[in-house]
Chains A and B, each alone.
Chain A
Amino acid sequence: GQQVMQIPQYQHVQEGEDFTTYCNSSTTLSNIQWYKQRPGGHPVFLIQLVKSGEVKKQKRLTFQFGEAKKNSSLHITATQTTDVGTYFCAASLYNFNKFYFGSGTKLNVKP
């Protein structure tokens, strides 16, 4: 399967601090999705990015797709304890329907 690297593996922040996770691929991606998995839960879809350089926002979350479509980032502004969980990118090479997950970034937010 394709290699989708995600960094960092863990991030501990104080509530109110910002958080960013990065997803990188050595090959050009068709599109990328982001999911959040709460402890003990299942992945929940957050967003899908398709276009080169695309930026999407959901309240405090900002998602970016790189110009070369080889990387993506998720940025959370002013984290809250409800943001705790593992954030996964899921990337597709050739079409929209085969997604391979990154290793995830586990976010812990201290109140």
Chain B
Amino acid sequence: EAGVAQSPRYKIIEKRQSVAFWCNPISGHATLYWYQQILGQGPKLLIQFQNNGVVDDSQLPKDRFSAERLKGVDSTLKIQPAKLEDSAVYLCASSLNRIMNTEAFFGQGTRLTVV
């Protein structure tokens, strides 16, 4: 079974520039998550999709971050404009979304450095 695919693996941009991350979840997984993990901290949930609908985006800085999941499969997360404090690893995860079976599978992440 293929895992969660993310690209790019690394990205370096200057502050005020834009950046986009892509995620392809495990086939058949209805739930998709984007997490931000700052060095030394736990993953922070940014947004959660159920198919192509947003379930939770309460911690997404909507003035600069946006995300979409067209057709309920792939997803993109965009930051525009980036700030220095956005430097982090951005993790995408997916799960089947069945009661009692919500194990989340994580991708390798995209390490973003804003300079």
Which residues of A are found within 8 Å of B2, using beta-carbon distances?
none
Size range of the interface on B? 20 to 34
What does DSSP make chain A's interface, helix, strand, loop or mixed?
loop
Contact, CB under 8 Å: A97 / B55: yes
Q: What residue in chain A is nearest B106 (Cβ atoms)?
A: A42
Which residues of B are found within 8 Å of A100, using beta-carbon distances?
45
Contact, CB under 8 Å: A96 / B106: no
Min CB distance B13 to A, Å, is 21
Q: How far is the CA of A44 from the CA of B41 in the complex (A)?
A: 16
Binary flags per residue of A37-60, CB closer than 8 Å to B gives 1, else 0: 000011111001010000000000
Min CB distance B101 to A, Å, is 9
**A88-B42, A102-B42, A104-B41 are contacts. A45–B55 as well, Cβ < 8 Å?**
no
Q: How far is the CA of A101 from the CA of B91 in the complex (A)?
A: 13
The stretch from B62-70, B71-79, B80-88, B92-100 touching chain A is B92-100
Which among A42, A88, A102 has the highest number of chain B CB atoms within 10 Å? Answer: A42
Min CB distance A102 to B, Å, is 5
Q: How far is the CA of A101 from the CA of B103 in the complex (A)?
A: 14
Which residues of A are found within 8 Å of B91, using beta-carbon distances?
42-43
Contact, CB under 8 Å: A101 / B100: no
A-B pairs with the 4 shortest C-beta distances? A101-B42, A42-B106, A45-B103, A96-B102
